[in-house]
Amino acid sequence: MIDEISMTTIQQNISDVLKRISTVAESCGRHPDEITLLAVSKTKPFEAIQAAIDAGQCHFGENYVQEGIEKVHAFAHNKSLVWHFIGPLQSNKSRLVAENFDWFHTLDRVKIAQRLNDQRPAEKAPLNVLIQVNISDESSKSGIPLLQVAELAEQIVNMPQLKLRGLMTIPAPESDFERQIAVFQKMTEAFNILKMNYKTVDTLSMGMTDDMNAAIHCGSTLVRIGTAIFGARNYSQ
């Protein structure tokens, strides 16, 4: 049962978030279709995900391997769904991600890239990957400095079972819009350079519930929204 938030509310929230994306995109001369809404469904029950699916949502992001796989399997009958792994990944769980997910957002070292490449089933399309950038240089967060992006990208593109799609970041919390813009702009510049060098690059994953407006202004093509769709996270389980 959904206890924190009703199915109807989830569906209304998705509608509201899509309207917000549309309004912000149009305000800065972008088309709303350029921006993918990724519903961050970690810690949320199957019923909540089904409510989102019923509202037309098809991209879902999970942070925990085992929980995510349970959801991937539970909804395996729905071929329209796209599953993104957006959390940190330990080496000993890389096979589970390689075998079950469509996207991996948090690639920040060659060792993990090689494991994902080697463990991706041959019958599946290459795993879409994003390089995670630690744009705020926080010791508590994963990701690489911007200066290391080119080197890692060069190695990823030589792995046939991986498809380099772009960059992802989780900046330090910042309430001031202009400061949000300043941080995201660094990502945009790096993304544009990467896009010029590799034809598969088309995705800039940045922006969450509290900073998605600034992210869209700076060219984000994918926003990761959890709270504004599903309500506050429940970690009690």
**pLDDT tier for residue 1 given thresholds of 50, 70 and 90:** very low
**pLDDT tier for residue 5 given thresholds of 50, 70 and 90:** low
Number of separate domains in the chain: 1
Tell me, yes or no, whether 233 lies in a domain: no
pTM over 0.75: yes
Count Cβ atoms within 10 A of the Cβ of residue 140 and give its class: 0-12 exposed, 13-18 middle, 19 or more buried.
exposed
Facing residues of 107 across strands?
131
Quick check: helix, strand or coil at residue 15? helix
Tell me, yes or no, whether 189 lies in a domain: yes
pLDDT in tens, 169-224: 999 999 999 999 999 999 999 999 999 999 999 999 999 999 999 999 999 999 99
Task: Outline where the chain has alpha helix (H).
Answer: 7-27, 46-54, 65-74, 94-100, 110-119, 149-156, 177-197, 212-217, 227-230
Question: How many Å apart are CA 183 and CA 107, to the nearest integer?
Answer: 20
pLDDT in tens, 76-120: 999 999 999 999 999 999 999 999 999 999 999 999 999 999 999
Count Cβ atoms within 10 A of the Cβ of residue 95 and give its class: 0-12 exposed, 13-18 middle, 19 or more buried.
middle
Tell me, yes or no, whether 234 lies in a domain: no
pLDDT in tens, 133-161: 999 886 667 899 999 999 999 999 999 99
Tell me, yes or no, whether 235 lies in a domain: no
Tell me, yes or no, whether 84 lies in a domain: yes
What CATH number should be reported for the domain holding residue 40? 3.20.20.10
Domain range holding 168?
A: 4-225
Tell me, yes or no, whether 193 lies in a domain: yes
pLDDT of residue 235 exceeding 70, the answer is no
Tell me, yes or no, whether 237 lies in a domain: no
